[in-house]
Every structure is written in C-alpha cells, then in structure tokens.
Amino acid sequence: MTFSVHGQAVSRGIAIGRAVLVASSRLDVAHYFVTTEQVDAELQRLSDARDRVIEELQRMQLGLQKTEAREAHHELNALLDVHLMLLEDKQLQEGAAYWVQERHYNAEWALTSHLEQIARQFDEMEDPYLRERKSDLEQLTELQLRQLRGVPSPVAGQPPASASQDDPLVLVAHDLSPADMLQFKQSVFVGFATDVGGKTSHTAIVARSMDIPAVVGGRSASQLVQQDDWVIIDGDAGILIVNPSDTVRAEYEFRQREIMLQRGRLAHIKNTPAVTLDGERVELLANIEQPTDTVPALSVSAVGVGLFRTEFLFMGRSGKLPDEAEQYQAYRAAVEGMHGLPVTIRTVDVGADKPLDRNARDDHLNPALGQRAIRWSLSEPAMFLTQLRAILRAAAHGKVNLLFPLVAHRHEILQIKDMLAKAQQQLDLRGEVYGPVRLGAMIEVPAAALTVPMFLKHFDFLSIGTNDLIQYTLAIDRVDESVSHLYDPLHPAILQLVAGTIAECRAQGKSISVCGEMAGDPTMTRLLLGLGLRSFSMHPSQILAVKQQILRSDTRKLRTWAQAVVSSEDPAGQIAG
C-alpha cells in the first residue's frame, strides 16, 4: 500500500531505495555488503558467533548447577533454557542468514536487520508473556554481536563492496544522534528519515554536510515503514513516500536526474572567485565536523574553514574523552589538510542535542538552557585546558582561529582568557612548540548580540551562530518538531540582531562571519550581502549554490533593500516580493 509521511525538509534532494530500519543504539555495528564469494564465509561467522554464545550460556548453566544455592537460581536457569532454545531455533537462524544470502549484508548488519523485523512481530502480539520475549531476542543479538566484534569479518576494514548490491538503501530510524550520524558518514545509505528532530538539529546539519536527502520529524515514520519497503525521500518537500506506484517512482527518478544535471552546471563556477557584480569580494568558508571533511571543502574551493565543530571528536566514546595527543593530531590534520588556508577551530560544544554519549540521558530540566558549550568547558577545567593546549600546538602548523561557543557573560570571557594564558604557560613549561591564534566568539545568544561592543573589546573576530540565535531568541527548541513551524530565520527580531552585529563589527573594522545554517541558504544570500556580510561559512555542499547568488548580486542595489527588509513587519513578504 502506498502512503506518505510528512516531516521536515532538512537536506535537499531525492533518494529512492529500500528501507533499512535501525534502532539508534544498533547503528554503530558495521554496515557493508559482502560479495557473492564472501557469502559463505560470512554465514560461517554468523553461525560461529551463535555457537560461541551457546557455549557461553551452557557454561553459565553448569556453573549454576555447581553452586550451593541451586534452588535460588532456578529462575535464572529457566531463562537460560529459553535463551538456548531461541538460539537453536531453525527459523530464527534462517531469518538472519536470509540477509546475508539474499541481500549480501555483513553478519552484524544481518543480525540487527533480522531483529528489527521480528521485534515488530513481537510488539504486535497479544500475549504479554510472548511480547516479553522481544527483550530476550535483543539480549541474544547483543551477545552475538559481541562475539562478532571479537572475530572481524574477512572483509571488514575494506571499502564496502557495494557493487554487489543493486538496490540503494535508505535508513529509517526513530532518532539518530549526532554520533550516529558519524557512523552514517561511512555507511552505505543514500538517504534517511527519522521520527524526531528539527531543521537545525545537529542530525539535520550533518545530513546536509553529507549532501544526502533527509526528512526528520516524521513522527511515526519508523513505525509505519516495514523493513525492506521501497521508499522515496523527498528532501525538498520533507515527505517520505512508502511503496510508491510505478508512476510516482518514475516521476521522482526524473527529478533525481534533473538535480544531478543542475549540480553539474554549478560545478562550472567552482574556480570562479566569489566576487559580486560591483566587485565586492566575498569569503566562502567551510563548516566541518572531522579533519577528513577538508577534502570536500577544498573540492569546492572553500578559502578556509569557518567552523570546525570539534565536539564530534568527543561524542560516542563511553565517557573516555580524547586526550591531548589525539586532539592535537586531529586539529593538525585539519590545519594541514587546508594547505595554509585558515582554520577556525571551535572549542567543544556538547550538551543539549549533542550528548557526549548516545545513551546518556540528560536529566536536566531544560538541556538547551543548561550546561552546554562554553559553560561545560568552564566547569571542566582539566578537559578545557587539554583542548586549548592541543589547539595551540596545532596552530604551529598553519593559520588557526580559536572560536568559543555560547558565550554570554563578561566573566566567561575573562575566564576563557585566563584559561588560555594557563594553557600557554603549561606548554611553555613543557617546552612544547605552539603557534599564535586569533580569538573569536560565537554570537548565538541574544545577550551576546545585544552587547557586541563588549565582545569586540576582547575578541579579534565574531561569528554569528544563527541556529542557536534563533532558538534562544524565539524560545523554540531546535530539535522539537512540534514547534519547528515557529523556527523563523526571517523573524524581524532575528534580522535586527544579525544586522546590528554585522554593522557594529564593520564600524570597528573587525571580522564578522555567519556560520549558522542561514549562511548556507541561497535564499538568504542577497539579504546578508545587503546587510554588509562578506564572510559566509557553511557546509561544503552549499558553497557553489551560494556562490552563484553572489556572482549575480550587486551590493550597491541591495543595501537599501536589505535595511527595508529588516525594519519591515513582514520580512518574508518583502523578500518574496
């Protein structure tokens, strides 16, 4: 049956493929295809893992029988019996093997796919006893995955042999954490849909950085879609179409080809300098999440990195934070990767929708207003000093700008400066080489936007984080899909804060950039140019579309118009008209 689910359009384009349902906690298993020749070896891995779990459980049972309190362990013994029975079940074994044999999934992926499929059947069962068996299956899958981890696949580590599978795959999940998204970057999926999330949730931001179509906030999408259904992600309209008819599918395939052609046309301006019709030079910088992202940045001729979101190095590590050496290597790789172009490294911004750990629940009442970004850094001086030392050392290898997120108070600025001096002192004591850095602050809290002159006394440059500025000015949680319709970059209050910040920086001759999603939205380019912005930082995938707008703009004509838009009651109407 064909049906569609409406959500938020967060990353443009069309993806057509078979649905792969994955629970967030299981996304970190490897997802790759094995070749026809490798199928037998992969099936063997699957059955070896099962056999080892059986042995483990039998050993446990034997141990129980030897203990004095045999009686007390009666229930546990019975449970082990159930688990052993499930492991021996032919149908369950064949179910997992199907994904390897027919779809060429690697063993780990086959196990989780099978689990997602049968978990649903269990959910629908009337009998509560049988419904509870779902958690037994989950535990058994975990045990087998653990065994598989100890025995790497003969094909693990090699690039996915995706040539062996023709059907593209689309990931459908209830939620994906930003850490999941990093796994996703190396995976085989061509698009994704989630039940939760908003336009500027970090999940959506990473999707845009990968330039893959995505729909978030589809509410019950992951409940309605079945494993292996054909789905279309319409990332422009924010729609997920399930089991489309042939006509609908053909229409979308046509649109997909159109998009490819359009992208091909944009590639022609890759080496054209970003200069407006009236000769104004504009700096187009890249937002990156990991050092390897410098490759796509350079491929679209970004003239530097305007935002390196370092928190992605810190997430999903079960509390074990990266030490100075690891961070130094990562920052140095980014700096060297840009071959002498400047790199703006932002100190860690975890908290709210970017938890350190996927499974760690944030018990604070209001995480977005809580201990995140610079607040967390200042409350963890040892961690903060480690990061500052690593960044300072990387600055010996190229031009580095050091950027601090979510700063709002003067005392925070003074503390930051103290910590920086301390980090330098520590490096001096160790006789370590480090380089100079320019200091910058994000303007992403209304309090900061309203006190720009104070910020300019202490910082060399500012960067406007419109995602958070909108969240905090309009009081809407950026990840809550139920208020996402209120998320409005063109609200007069936002435009006044952005315009005021740009104007103040220009008046004082200080560098000002925008690195929030607004900078990468081509429909905003003319307005930002008209307000005097000459430095835009965005995901590499957006750079050429924004450059195209710049090449067609004359800033002399935009100035008065932009001021009129800002002071209008209905800026969206003004822009459209």
Toward ligand PEP, which CB reaches closer, 106 or 466? 466
Q: In angstroms, what is the minimal distance from the CB of 217 to ligand PEP?
A: 17
In whole angstroms, give the CA distance from residue 377 to residue 358.
19
Q: Which residues are 146's β-sheet partners? A: none
Strand-pair category, 461-464 with 400-404: unpaired
> Which residue among the candidates 202, 397, 505, 539 is catalytic per the annotation?
202
Q: Which of 465, 489, 530, 532 binds ligand PEP (CB under 6 A)?
A: 465
Please report how the helices 39-66 and 107-123 are oriented relative to each other, as an axis angle in degrees rounded to 10.
60
* 465 near Mg ion, judged by CB under 5 A: yes
Handedness of CA 524, 526, 532, 535 (dihedral sign): positive
Toward Mg ion, which CB reaches closer, 172 or 374? 374
Stretch that binds Mg ion, among 309-317, 458-466, 502-510, 550-558 (CB under 5 A): 458-466
CA distances 524 to 4, 81, 431, 495, 562, Å, are 30, 63, 48, 11, 11
Stretch that binds ligand PEP, among 92-100, 223-231, 322-330, 465-473 (CB under 6 A): 465-473
Contact letters (x/-) for ligand PEP, 188-217, by CB under 6 A? -----------------x------------
Q: Which of 180, 293, 349, 521 binds ligand PEP (CB under 6 A)?
A: 349
50 contacts: CB under 8 Å, gap ≥ 6: 87, 93, 144
Per-residue three-class SS string for 340-366: CCCEEEECCCCECCECCCCCCCCCCCC
Toward Mg ion, which CB reaches closer, 270 or 364? 364
Q: Which residues are 33's β-sheet partners? A: 105
In whole angstroms, give the CA distance from residue 188 to residue 103.
13
Are 251 and 503 contacting, i.e. CB atoms less than 8 angstroms apart? no
In whole angstroms, give the CA distance from residue 560 to residue 568.
12
Buried b / exposed e along 169-200 (16+ C-beta atoms within 10 A)? bbbbbbbbbbbbbbbbbebbbbbbbbbbbbbb
Q: In angstroms, what is the minimal distance from the CB of 397 to ligand PEP?
A: 24
Number of amino acids touching ligand PEP (CB under 6 A):
11
Number of amino acids touching Mg ion (CB under 5 A):
3
Structural tokens at position 535: 């430095």
Q: In angstroms, what is the minimal distance from the CB of 412 to Mg ion?
A: 15
Active site residue 515: yes
In whole angstroms, give the CA distance from residue 283 to residue 133.
58
* 517 near Mg ion, judged by CB under 5 A: no
Residue 360, Cα to own-chain centre: how many angstroms? 17
Q: According to DSSP H, which parts of 380-522 are helical?
A: 381-394, 410-430, 446-449, 452-458, 466-474, 492-507
Residue 203 contact partner, candidates ligand PEP, Mg ion, none, CB within 5 to 8 A by sort of partner: none
Toward ligand PEP, which CB reaches closer, 116 or 468? 468
Stretch that binds ligand PEP, among 257-265, 322-330, 463-471, 560-568 (CB under 6 A): 463-471
Per-residue three-class SS string for 110-170: HHHHHHHHHHHHHHCCCCHHHHHHHHHHHHHHHHHHHHHHHCCCCCCCCCCCHHHCCCCEE
In whole angstroms, give the CA distance from residue 51 to residue 87.
9
In whole angstroms, give the CA distance from residue 549 to residue 276.
9
Stretch that binds Mg ion, among 195-203, 225-233, 239-247, 437-445 (CB under 5 A): 437-445
Q: Which of 180, 195, 468, 481 binds ligand PEP (CB under 6 A)?
A: 468
Q: Which of 10, 274, 449, 515 binds ligand PEP (CB under 6 A)?
A: 515
Residue 515 contact partner, candidates ligand PEP, Mg ion, none, CB within 5 to 8 A by sort of partner: ligand PEP
Contact letters (x/-) for ligand PEP, 284-313, by CB under 6 A? -----------------------x-x----
* 225 near ligand PEP, judged by CB under 6 A: no
* 467 near ligand PEP, judged by CB under 6 A: yes
Toward ligand PEP, which CB reaches closer, 17 or 516? 516
Q: Which of 180, 289, 444, 477 binds ligand PEP (CB under 6 A)?
A: 444
Active site residue 6: no
Toward Mg ion, which CB reaches closer, 444 or 521? 444
Stretch that binds Mg ion, among 54-62, 70-78, 394-402, 468-476 (CB under 5 A): 468-476
Q: Which residues are 442's β-sheet partners? A: 463
Toward ligand PEP, which CB reaches closer, 199 or 526? 199
Q: In angstroms, what is the minimal distance from the CB of 444 to Mg ion?
A: 5
In whole angstroms, give the CA distance from residue 202 to residue 460.
27
> Which residue among the candidates 31, 114, 397, 515 is catalytic per the annotation?
515
Toward Mg ion, which CB reaches closer, 403 or 566? 403
Q: In angstroms, what is the minimal distance from the CB of 398 to ligand PEP?
A: 22
Q: In angstroms, what is the minimal distance from the CB of 124 to ligand PEP?
A: 39
Please report how the helices 381-394 and 410-430 are oriented relative to each other, as an axis angle in degrees rounded to 10.
60
Q: In angstroms, what is the minimal distance from the CB of 210 to ligand PEP?
A: 15
471 contacts: CB under 8 Å, gap ≥ 6: 200, 368, 477, 478, 487
Q: In angstroms, what is the minimal distance from the CB of 507 to ligand PEP?
A: 23
* 444 near Mg ion, judged by CB under 5 A: yes
Residue 285 contact partner, candidates ligand PEP, Mg ion, none, CB within 5 to 8 A by sort of partner: none
**Residue with tokens 């013994």, as numbered in its chain:** 77
In whole angstroms, give the CA distance from residue 424 to residue 439.
14
Q: In angstroms, what is the minimal distance from the CB of 517 to ligand PEP?
A: 7
Toward ligand PEP, which CB reaches closer, 444 or 480? 444
DSSP code of residue 372: -
* 516 near ligand PEP, judged by CB under 6 A: yes
CA angle, corner 471, sides to 9 and 502, nearest 5?
100
Toward ligand PEP, which CB reaches closer, 143 or 538? 538
* 468 near Mg ion, judged by CB under 5 A: yes
Q: List residues binding ligand PEP (CB under 6 A).
A: 205, 307, 309, 349, 444, 465-468, 515-516
Q: List residues binding Mg ion (CB under 5 A).
A: 444, 465, 468
- Residues designated as active site: 202, 515
